[in-house]
A = this chain, B = another copy of it.
């Protein structure tokens, strides 16, 4: 529960306030004071009359009513103080910095439980315990450094880990990134990352609130809430980027050991971020670079002009953009020639536009104007301007500042001379701008943003899916485990997924009759033995009745054989769809090409059920082997629409059959006209 008093307290008490600014209770008071907090500040410290100039009280009982209390006292003292303040002093918000709770011992966990009970009873907010605090434009209630520039249009940072938040800020302040708020949720006893996001969503005011959010998440406790509110915020115009630490197997082990939570699979995280429209990052450097890009005007296309007075970085940036699927189109024609004639001899305008080392601020202005007004195949500009130190860069950066404020097209400032032009860069940042010191880091971050999908809509695609029939089939399955081929086929049919026709019988005459009816060649498989291939129980490409009769006789001799299953032999490109149920996330659906693409190249993309058509297409398009689906070099492609349709329908099926814990359709055979499921396994747990 996030109360008004947590965000905009009229009064704050620091319990355990100290004159020693090397202690949390001293540092936080110092930050509050130097942050210009305008409400009433109070301290509780039995040994002092005044702490850092703030009136001090001997105990919590003695203070006047106070909105927000910050506790920097030993863990075991916290519950009583919280009780006193909540019950007697109208305190509706608590930030508990102290460690020594559930993260350390069982006794600590019990203390935490008691505190939670009290704050919930009195309708108060609780941040922490074991956190660095919360800072926003109203109050700097953190004990840590650095304090970034705070600004209502800066980014909101919400972090599972206090130390990581601090280090993210280190990386951010160097770039000039400003913040609206920084939340370190610590043990997140009452308020976790999802809760902060939910509050921001439910109270979102596009006029007043920041629309930029950065998240650092160590474990996703409530994926549904995270998904719902992240997607909702993004649909309202917000931009969200996040690190989910623990994306590798070892990293996941490390994260679990750090947080004590069960790790979620990386494909589940990937699927959730895709569905929500969150830009996924893997390092602090990447997260803050993406945050800086967020602060610039929205990109309207993928075509960039690079304006520079140094060739090398322009080339490296061109490489990075191209690799990320972005373009640095050649500039030519009358306008380009005209621009060239206004620059120094030797300057080039082909893109990158190189005004030479001797290029002037006036030249930069001209280049920007041409990109803004004349070059229609340009959507945004990158300006790379450093210095070997002969002249100052103030004039050059003034041009950038002015143009960034007035141009419709975004301009990305890349100012590499952070030492030599340190004063100029600092002055530029003070005007509220950001700086990308490394061009390739920017190029990579941009491609992450441009390639992130839009948030999905929340509707379930029901058309053609027979939900009552699905429920009847699931309910009729007698026991847990892999269900019979017959049930598998019925379920897929009920979801409107085309399944290869098949026939099972222990009677030779019936099997032969089916072969005649569906047409040869056919495939025959023994029913009964589990590892069919190992016992010679699968025969492909049976071309006539006589051959089928022979195979029937042979297969029925295999131990455990109860019947023979016959299917027409289809041809096509092998596709794959799989799904598994992951606790809290629901069904994660995977798709890809079959065979080695899944098994060796791990070329699969993931989505969270239920899936929309847009999501299914986005999953298909993000496969490395997508060109094979499109068709390439004389090979015909496959029917992408039908593949997407099957992915969507399967996800709907799963939504109404949560008993399915694991399934795959492998292969589906796809041609230009059809995609048909050939083999499938479904495991249920009721």
The residues of A with any CB-CB pair to B shorter than 8 Å are 22-24, 27, 99, 103-105, 132, 143-146, 159-164, 166-167, 170-171, 173-174, 216, 218, 243, 245-251, 253-255, 257-259, 282-286, 306, 309-316, 318-323, 327-328, 330, 345-346, 348, 350-352, 354, 356-358, 386-391, 416-420, 437-441, 533, 596, 599-601, 624-625, 627-628, 632-635
Closest A-B pairs by Cβ, 10 of them = A164-B312, A283-B440, A145-B389, A163-B310, A144-B388, A251-B319, A258-B311, A248-B322, A245-B315, A161-B312
Asked whether A441 lies within 8 Å of B285 as measured between CB atoms, the reply is yes
Q: In this complex, what residue of B is CB-closest to A420?
A: B145
Contact A146/B438 with A255-B315, A310-B161 known, Cβ cut-off 8 Å: no
> What is the total number of copies of this protein in its complex?
2
Contact B171 A438 (CB under 8 A): yes
Which listed residue, B167, B243, B316, touches A386 by the CB 8 Å rule? B167
B390–A27 touching, CB < 8 Å: yes
Asked if residues A250 and B328 are in contact (CB atoms below 8 Å), the reply is yes
Q: Is the CB of B161 within 8 A of A358?
A: no
By the criterion CB–CB under 8 Å, are A417 and B251 in contact? no
User: How far apart are A317's CB and chain B's nearest CB, in angstroms?
Assistant: 8
Residue of B nearest to A24 (CB): B390
Known: A253-B330, A311-B161, A600-B625. A174 touches B282 (CB 8 A): no
A132 to B247, CA, bound (A): 44
Q: Which of B218, B253, B357, B624 touches A163 (beta carbons < 8 Å)?
A: B357
Interface centre among A257, A282, A437 (most CB of B within 10 A): A257
Contact A251 B318 (CB under 8 A): yes
Contact of A599 among B418, B601, B633 (CB under 8 A): B633
Query: In the complex, what's the smallest C-beta–C-beta distance from A591 to chain B, in angstroms?
Result: 17
Known: A164-B313, A320-B282. A170 touches B600 (CB 8 A): no
A321 vs chain B, min Cβ distance (A):
8
Is the Cβ of A258 less than 8 Å from the Cβ of B354?
Answer: yes
The answer to whether A417 and B174 touch (CB under 8 A), given A286-B440, A627-B600, is no
Cα separation A358 to B100 with both chains bound (whole Å): 11
Give CA–CA (A99, B357) in the complex, Å: 10
Known: A254-B315, A312-B245. A144 touches B438 (CB 8 A): no
10 contacts between A and B (CB under 8 A): A159-B312, A163-B313, A164-B310, A167-B310, A218-B311, A243-B316, A245-B316, A258-B354, A259-B311, A283-B320
Q: Give Cα distance in the complex from A318 to B239, angstroms.
A: 27
A313 touches B346 (CB 8 A): no
Q: Is the CB of A386 within 8 A of B166?
A: yes
Residues from chain B with a CB closer than 8 A to the CB of A441 are 283, 285
Complex: how many Å from CA A251 to CA B321? 9
- Minimum Cβ distance to chain B for residue A17 (Å): 14
B residues less than 8 Å from A105 (CB atoms): 345-346
Q: In the complex, are the beta carbons of A166 and B216 less than 8 A apart?
A: no
Known: A440-B285, A596-B628. A346 touches B104 (CB 8 A): yes
C-alpha gap A387/B173 in the complex (Å): 15
Report chain B residues within 8 Å CB of A356: 99
Closest to A184 in B: B388
Contact B170 A416 (CB under 8 A): yes
Residues of B within 8 A of A23 (CB): 390
Task: Give the residues in chain B near A440, CB-CB below 8 Å.
Answer: 282-286
Alpha-carbon gap, A162 to B249, bound state (A): 43
Query: By CB atoms of chain B within 10 A, which of A250, A253, A282 has the most?
Result: A250
A166 to chain B, nearest CB (A): 5
Q: Which residues of B contact A22 (CB under 8 A)?
A: 390-391
B388 A348 Cβ-Cβ under 8 A: no
**In whole Å, how far is A315's beta carbon from the nearest beta carbon of chain B?**
4
Most chain B CB inside 10 Å of its own CB: which residue of A247, A254, A625: A254
Contact yes or no, B167 A246, CB < 8 A? no
Contacts of A310 in B (CB 8 A): 161, 163-164, 167
A386:B27 contact, CB within 8 angstroms: no
Out of B143, B351, B390, B634, name the residue touching A390 (CB < 8 Å).
B143
Q: CB-CB < 8 A to A282: which residues of B?
A: 316, 319-320, 440
The reply to whether A318 and B438 contact each other, CB–CB distance below 8 Å, is no
Chain B: which residue is nearest A165 at the CB level? B312
Question: In the complex, what's the smallest C-beta–C-beta distance from A395 to chain B, in angstroms?
Answer: 13
> In the docked arrangement, what's the CA distance between A384 and B27, Å?
23
- Taken together as a complex, chains A and B put the C-alpha atoms of A669 and B80 apart, in Å, by 78
- Minimum CB–CB distance from A670 to chain B (whole Å) comes to 15
